[in-house]
Amino acid sequence: MFLTMTFRWFLVFSVSIAVTAIDDDLIPSTLDGPFEPVTVPYDVSLRGNAVDLPDTDPRVRRCVEGFEPEQISVSLSVNYDSVWISWITGEFQVGNKIKPLNPNTVASVVRYGRSRVPLTDEASGYSLVYNQLYPFEGLQNYTSGIIHHVRLTGLKPSTLYYYRCGDPSISAMSDIYHFRTMPVSGPRSYPNRIAVVGDLGLTYNTTDTIHNLKSNKPDLVLLVGDVSYANLYRTNGTGSDCYDCSFPETPIHETYQPRWDYWGRFMQSLISRTPIMVIEGNHEIEEQAGKQSFVAYSSRFAFPSEESKSSSPFYYSFNAGGIHFIMLGAYVDYSKSAKQYKWLERDLANVDRSMIPWLVAAWHPPWYNTYTAHYKEAECMRLEMEELLYSYGVDIVFNGHVHAYERSNRVYNYTLDPCGPVHITVGDGGNREKMAIEHADEAANCPEPSSTHDEDMGGFCATNFTRGPAAGKFCWDQQPDYSAFRESSFGHGILEVKNETWALWTWYRNQDSSGKVGDQVYIVRQPELCLGSIKLPKSSFADS
């Protein structure tokens, strides 16, 4: 024990990781785990205030004229040398008689450079318009402004770039913004801070989350699904925190697409300078005429799908320094015979762990969830994909969907396993549907198995446990040993990868001051323990 602790402290100080205190205790690491389960009692004073920003709020109003750019955002390509710039020009339309704008009438141009003046480089991209159509009497249709996506290439790593976007031929260019590229991929090269958040929406809680997130000055934002919650509204703008409860007789699940525009305007101050990477959630399905779905999601964001050899915006990958991020789709086919699974196999096999040690996966609904809300809902996906992720040594998994915070011990197949990833749920960004507060392991809270089925996830696989302390039962009768920490509060997380071995994870609650954290742990990679069970793509873990 003394040698282990001595070695641990040698590692900590050798990479200059500052060890701070939480309530006078040293920050724990996964070397200290598995941890005894902790549940923070629910603070009843936090309930409420899950109220959407109205369309009269100045933060969501259109403040440009003509075809000047708005809703400007930056997203990453596969590597540091390329980013996407996206924006919208022109006004959306809502009504029974809409006439889509012609995307060919406004150019998609970005001027950029390493100095504000002059902006020496120029790139052009493509544009599109999407519609949200409902073939039912009394429902209003929507057509978007012109959405522009331009890819910048040939960029330097860890470099500040300035840019303007728009159409210079009609004097419709934006102000000058800036972004910083990701560091070059390498075992000692990482972004300083990566913000992780889920289930944002656009409520007053959301504004608190984004304010606190901005104060942490992230280099990258990861949004793990459920973006605008436009589908909590009917096409006339009437909203509810429970659509099915309030509008049970609607012929189709309507949406109010202007909520997407409001969200884009509110977020611009952050994501016009900090890249954001998004994966779809269930609130992005938004079925419309012709059974089309995910149209707003697929149109409004730029994804490095083609660059990462994916055929879909629903799953893709990218690098941020020595981290390889895998973004997976829970609402498209994930079976072993599907395109997504075959792509995932190829993608994992091509990661050189000597150069990119960290593997981080993200998708919307969690596999490991002890709350009643969405309990075992993603079990089919887990049964199809967990073994593959485990076999390649995925280190961390981020999810949303459950409107609360939860961090697991290292786990695989519901069993504590030092080679399994740490699963972290951050579905507490501030959405209108409020927090999840009930736990499935509490008396009378265990849901009926049939109630856990979600048709959008492609199947029903939730069964009783076959082994362990809960064998023969659908729920544990106490907080499961794989659940290390859980709390029902709104907030966001920050991931700080220090080197090829250590990463600091911090979860910030909205109700706390900026200097206080809700949960914090060092996640420590120990690939040498798992060489017998983990595949070695391209380069041996022993070399990393």
Rounded Cα distance between 219 and 221, Å, is 7
**Cβ-contact 275, 284 below 8 angstroms:** no
Smallest CA-to-CA distance from 224 within 490, 510, 508, 428 is with 428
Alpha-carbon torsion, ordered 301, 231, 214, 278, to 10 deg: -30
Other C-beta atoms closer than 10 Å to the C-beta of 437 total 16
Q: Which of 149, 374, 401, 403 is catalytic?
A: 374
**Cβ-contact 500, 523 below 8 angstroms:** no
Rounded Cα distance between 360 and 525, Å, is 12
What do you get for the CA distance between the two ends of the chain, in Å?
25
Listed in sequence order, the DSSP H helices in 287-373 are 295-300, 339-349
Helix (H) / strand (E) element for 150: namely: strand 146-152
- 207 burial (CB, 10 Å; 0-12 / 13-18 / 19+) is middle
Which residues, other chains included, contact 381 with Cβ-Cβ below 8 Å and sequence gap of 6+?
330, 334, 363, 365, 367, 457
Distances in whole angstroms, Cα of residue 275 to Cα of each of 59, 77, 84, 356, 370 = 20, 10, 9, 20, 32
**Cβ-contact 183, 239 below 8 angstroms:** no
**Cβ-contact 254, 139 below 8 angstroms:** yes
Name beta bridge partners: 415: 412
Told to judge if 374 belongs to the known catalytic residues of this protein, a careful annotator would answer yes
Smallest CA-to-CA distance from 275 within 175, 179, 400 is with 179
Which residues, other chains included, contact 260 with Cβ-Cβ below 8 Å and sequence gap of 6+?
227, 228, 230, 296, 300
Active site residues: 374
